[in-house]
Amino acid sequence: MSGPGWHLLQQGKQTASYNMALDETLLASAPGLGRPVLRFYGWLESAASFGYAQKYADVERWTLLRPLVRRPTGGGLVPHDADWTYSVVIPARHPWHRLKAAESYRRVHEWIRDAFAQGGVPTTLAASSHKEIPGQCFVGAEESDLLWHGRKIAGAAQRRTRTGLLIQGSIQPPPIPLARADWQTAMCEVARRQWAVEWNPLQITEPLADMTRSLQAVKYSQAGYNQKR
Protein backbone atom coordinates (compact mmCIF):
# COMPACT_ATOMS: atom_id res chain seq x y z
CA MET A 1 0.00 0.00 0.00
CA SER A 2 3.02 2.26 0.12
CA GLY A 3 3.59 4.81 -2.60
CA PRO A 4 4.35 8.49 -2.96
CA GLY A 5 1.09 9.72 -4.41
CA TRP A 6 -2.60 9.14 -3.73
CA HIS A 7 -5.61 11.14 -4.86
CA LEU A 8 -7.84 12.61 -2.15
CA LEU A 9 -11.46 13.53 -2.87
CA GLN A 10 -13.36 15.21 -0.04
CA GLN A 11 -17.00 15.73 -0.89
CA GLY A 12 -20.05 16.86 0.98
CA LYS A 13 -23.48 15.27 0.92
CA GLN A 14 -24.67 13.79 -2.37
CA THR A 15 -27.65 11.78 -3.59
CA ALA A 16 -27.61 7.99 -3.30
CA SER A 17 -27.54 7.52 -7.07
CA TYR A 18 -24.68 9.99 -7.50
CA ASN A 19 -22.60 8.33 -4.79
CA MET A 20 -22.83 4.92 -6.45
CA ALA A 21 -22.34 6.33 -9.95
CA LEU A 22 -19.18 8.22 -8.99
CA ASP A 23 -17.64 5.20 -7.30
CA GLU A 24 -18.23 3.09 -10.41
CA THR A 25 -16.78 5.89 -12.54
CA LEU A 26 -13.64 6.02 -10.40
CA LEU A 27 -13.22 2.25 -10.66
CA ALA A 28 -13.58 2.28 -14.44
CA SER A 29 -11.20 5.25 -14.65
CA ALA A 30 -8.56 3.78 -12.33
CA PRO A 31 -6.00 3.06 -15.09
CA GLY A 32 -6.15 6.65 -16.33
CA LEU A 33 -6.06 8.13 -12.84
CA GLY A 34 -2.91 6.10 -12.23
CA ARG A 35 -2.97 6.44 -8.44
CA PRO A 36 -5.18 5.13 -5.65
CA VAL A 37 -8.10 7.34 -4.63
CA LEU A 38 -9.49 7.93 -1.14
CA ARG A 39 -12.92 9.52 -1.25
CA PHE A 40 -14.90 10.86 1.72
CA TYR A 41 -18.56 11.67 1.14
CA GLY A 42 -22.01 11.96 2.71
CA TRP A 43 -25.70 11.53 1.88
CA LEU A 44 -28.26 14.22 1.09
CA GLU A 45 -31.10 12.07 2.38
CA SER A 46 -31.60 9.06 4.58
CA ALA A 47 -31.07 6.04 2.33
CA ALA A 48 -29.84 2.47 2.29
CA SER A 49 -27.49 0.70 -0.07
CA PHE A 50 -27.37 -3.03 -0.63
CA GLY A 51 -25.05 -5.52 -2.25
CA TYR A 52 -25.00 -6.09 -5.98
CA ALA A 53 -26.25 -9.70 -5.67
CA GLN A 54 -28.92 -9.15 -3.02
CA LYS A 55 -32.64 -9.59 -3.67
CA TYR A 56 -34.57 -6.34 -3.63
CA ALA A 57 -37.64 -7.98 -2.07
CA ASP A 58 -35.57 -8.99 0.95
CA VAL A 59 -33.95 -5.59 1.33
CA GLU A 60 -37.19 -3.60 1.23
CA ARG A 61 -38.54 -5.70 4.11
CA TRP A 62 -35.48 -5.12 6.26
CA THR A 63 -35.50 -1.31 6.32
CA LEU A 64 -37.87 1.63 6.07
CA LEU A 65 -35.11 3.86 4.71
CA ARG A 66 -35.63 5.15 1.19
CA PRO A 67 -34.30 5.41 -1.43
CA LEU A 68 -32.77 1.96 -1.80
CA VAL A 69 -29.79 1.82 -4.15
CA ARG A 70 -27.92 -1.24 -5.41
CA ARG A 71 -24.16 -0.90 -4.91
CA PRO A 72 -21.55 -1.89 -7.52
CA THR A 73 -19.92 -3.93 -4.73
CA GLY A 74 -21.11 -6.97 -2.79
CA GLY A 75 -21.94 -7.18 0.89
CA GLY A 76 -25.20 -6.60 2.74
CA LEU A 77 -27.70 -3.90 3.56
CA VAL A 78 -26.18 -0.68 4.94
CA PRO A 79 -28.24 2.18 6.42
CA HIS A 80 -27.08 5.67 5.49
CA ASP A 81 -28.87 7.95 7.89
CA ALA A 82 -26.04 8.98 10.21
CA ASP A 83 -22.98 7.09 8.99
CA TRP A 84 -19.57 8.21 7.76
CA THR A 85 -18.85 6.84 4.30
CA TYR A 86 -15.72 6.51 2.22
CA SER A 87 -14.44 4.64 -0.79
CA VAL A 88 -10.99 3.49 -1.84
CA VAL A 89 -10.11 2.83 -5.48
CA ILE A 90 -6.90 0.98 -6.29
CA PRO A 91 -5.58 0.73 -9.87
CA ALA A 92 -4.71 -2.74 -11.14
CA ARG A 93 -0.95 -2.20 -11.12
CA HIS A 94 -0.89 -1.25 -7.45
CA PRO A 95 0.27 -3.98 -5.00
CA TRP A 96 -3.00 -3.84 -3.07
CA HIS A 97 -4.90 -5.03 -6.15
CA ARG A 98 -3.10 -8.36 -5.88
CA LEU A 99 -4.21 -8.98 -2.31
CA LYS A 100 -6.84 -11.59 -1.61
CA ALA A 101 -10.21 -10.16 -0.63
CA ALA A 102 -9.80 -11.04 3.05
CA GLU A 103 -6.41 -9.29 3.13
CA SER A 104 -7.58 -6.05 1.53
CA TYR A 105 -10.63 -6.08 3.83
CA ARG A 106 -8.45 -6.43 6.90
CA ARG A 107 -6.01 -3.79 5.70
CA VAL A 108 -8.62 -1.07 5.27
CA HIS A 109 -10.05 -1.78 8.73
CA GLU A 110 -6.60 -1.73 10.31
CA TRP A 111 -6.18 1.69 8.71
CA ILE A 112 -9.47 2.89 10.22
CA ARG A 113 -8.58 1.34 13.58
CA ASP A 114 -5.31 3.28 13.65
CA ALA A 115 -7.10 6.51 12.70
CA PHE A 116 -9.57 6.03 15.57
CA ALA A 117 -6.65 5.30 17.91
CA GLN A 118 -5.01 8.59 16.89
CA GLY A 119 -8.26 10.27 17.92
CA GLY A 120 -8.16 8.56 21.31
CA VAL A 121 -10.82 5.94 20.51
CA PRO A 122 -9.68 2.31 21.01
CA THR A 123 -11.22 -0.21 18.60
CA THR A 124 -10.43 -3.80 17.62
CA LEU A 125 -10.85 -6.07 14.62
CA ALA A 126 -13.28 -8.97 14.91
CA ALA A 127 -11.34 -12.23 15.17
CA SER A 128 -14.16 -14.31 13.67
CA SER A 129 -17.63 -14.04 12.15
CA HIS A 130 -20.75 -13.97 14.27
CA LYS A 131 -23.59 -12.95 11.96
CA GLU A 132 -26.98 -12.72 13.64
CA ILE A 133 -29.06 -11.95 10.52
CA PRO A 134 -27.47 -12.78 7.14
CA GLY A 135 -27.66 -9.99 4.57
CA GLN A 136 -27.66 -7.08 7.00
CA CYS A 137 -24.21 -5.57 7.31
CA PHE A 138 -24.42 -4.14 10.83
CA VAL A 139 -26.30 -7.00 12.54
CA GLY A 140 -23.49 -9.14 13.91
CA ALA A 141 -20.00 -9.00 12.44
CA GLU A 142 -17.70 -10.63 9.92
CA GLU A 143 -14.04 -11.41 10.51
CA SER A 144 -11.93 -8.21 10.43
CA ASP A 145 -14.91 -5.88 10.91
CA LEU A 146 -14.13 -2.97 13.24
CA LEU A 147 -15.54 -3.29 16.76
CA TRP A 148 -16.03 -0.77 19.55
CA HIS A 149 -16.74 -2.40 22.92
CA GLY A 150 -17.72 -5.54 21.03
CA ARG A 151 -20.17 -3.76 18.73
CA LYS A 152 -19.55 -3.54 14.99
CA ILE A 153 -19.05 0.05 13.87
CA ALA A 154 -17.36 -0.36 10.47
CA GLY A 155 -17.88 -2.67 7.53
CA ALA A 156 -17.02 -2.61 3.84
CA ALA A 157 -17.76 -4.25 0.50
CA GLN A 158 -15.44 -4.84 -2.42
CA ARG A 159 -15.36 -5.29 -6.16
CA ARG A 160 -12.22 -6.30 -8.02
CA THR A 161 -12.00 -5.97 -11.81
CA ARG A 162 -9.21 -5.94 -14.39
CA THR A 163 -9.06 -2.15 -14.09
CA GLY A 164 -8.88 -1.92 -10.31
CA LEU A 165 -10.28 -2.57 -6.85
CA LEU A 166 -13.18 -0.65 -5.31
CA ILE A 167 -13.80 -0.74 -1.55
CA GLN A 168 -16.92 1.01 -0.26
CA GLY A 169 -17.03 1.43 3.50
CA SER A 170 -19.40 2.69 6.16
CA ILE A 171 -18.78 3.68 9.75
CA GLN A 172 -21.72 3.84 12.15
CA PRO A 173 -20.10 6.22 14.65
CA PRO A 174 -20.51 5.38 18.33
CA PRO A 175 -21.08 8.11 20.95
CA ILE A 176 -17.46 9.26 21.08
CA PRO A 177 -15.75 12.66 21.27
CA LEU A 178 -14.33 12.39 17.74
CA ALA A 179 -15.66 14.56 14.94
CA ARG A 180 -16.00 13.22 11.42
CA ALA A 181 -13.60 15.83 10.05
CA ASP A 182 -10.99 14.88 12.65
CA TRP A 183 -11.34 11.21 11.73
CA GLN A 184 -10.81 12.05 8.05
CA THR A 185 -7.70 14.03 8.93
CA ALA A 186 -6.44 11.12 11.01
CA MET A 187 -6.95 8.73 8.08
CA CYS A 188 -4.71 10.90 5.92
CA GLU A 189 -2.11 11.31 8.65
CA VAL A 190 -1.96 7.57 9.36
CA ALA A 191 -1.36 6.85 5.67
CA ARG A 192 1.31 9.53 5.49
CA ARG A 193 3.08 8.22 8.58
CA GLN A 194 2.84 4.48 7.94
CA TRP A 195 3.10 4.29 4.14
CA ALA A 196 4.67 7.63 3.15
CA VAL A 197 1.55 8.57 1.17
CA GLU A 198 1.58 12.04 -0.36
CA TRP A 199 -1.95 13.37 -0.79
CA ASN A 200 -2.98 15.18 -3.97
CA PRO A 201 -6.47 16.69 -4.33
CA LEU A 202 -8.50 15.02 -7.09
CA GLN A 203 -10.34 17.28 -9.48
CA ILE A 204 -13.50 15.89 -11.09
CA THR A 205 -12.77 16.49 -14.77
CA GLU A 206 -15.52 16.85 -17.34
CA PRO A 207 -15.07 13.27 -18.64
CA LEU A 208 -15.42 11.93 -15.08
CA ALA A 209 -18.45 14.14 -14.49
CA ASP A 210 -20.04 13.06 -17.78
CA MET A 211 -19.62 9.36 -17.02
CA THR A 212 -20.99 9.85 -13.51
CA ARG A 213 -24.05 11.72 -14.78
CA SER A 214 -24.69 9.02 -17.36
CA LEU A 215 -24.45 6.16 -14.85
CA GLN A 216 -26.63 8.08 -12.43
CA ALA A 217 -29.31 8.71 -15.07
CA VAL A 218 -29.48 5.32 -16.78
CA LYS A 219 -28.54 3.00 -13.91
CA TYR A 220 -28.49 3.98 -10.24
CA SER A 221 -31.57 6.23 -10.28
CA GLN A 222 -33.64 3.64 -12.15
CA ALA A 223 -36.04 1.26 -10.41
CA GLY A 224 -35.40 -1.24 -13.20
CA TYR A 225 -31.77 -1.52 -12.14
CA ASN A 226 -32.18 -1.34 -8.38
CA GLN A 227 -35.03 -3.87 -8.41
CA LYS A 228 -33.63 -6.13 -11.12
CA ARG A 229 -33.39 -9.18 -8.87
What is the CB neighbour count within 10 angstroms for residue 215? 22
| 137 in catalytic set | yes
How far apart CA 84 and CA 180 sit, in angstroms, is 7
Q: Residues 137, 141, 153, 166: which is the catalytic one?
A: 137
In Å, what is the CA distance from 36 to each residue of 6, 90, 226? 5, 5, 28
Phi, psi of 191 (to 5 degrees): -65, -35
Residue 125, burial from CB neighbour count under 10 angstroms (0-12, 13-18, 19+): middle
For the chain, give percent helix, strand, coil, nearest 5: 35, 30, 35
CA distance 83 to 154: 9
Running DSSP on this structure, what letter comes out for residue 141?
E
Residue 72 near residue 24, CB atoms below 8 Å: yes
Q: Which residues are catalytic?
A: 137
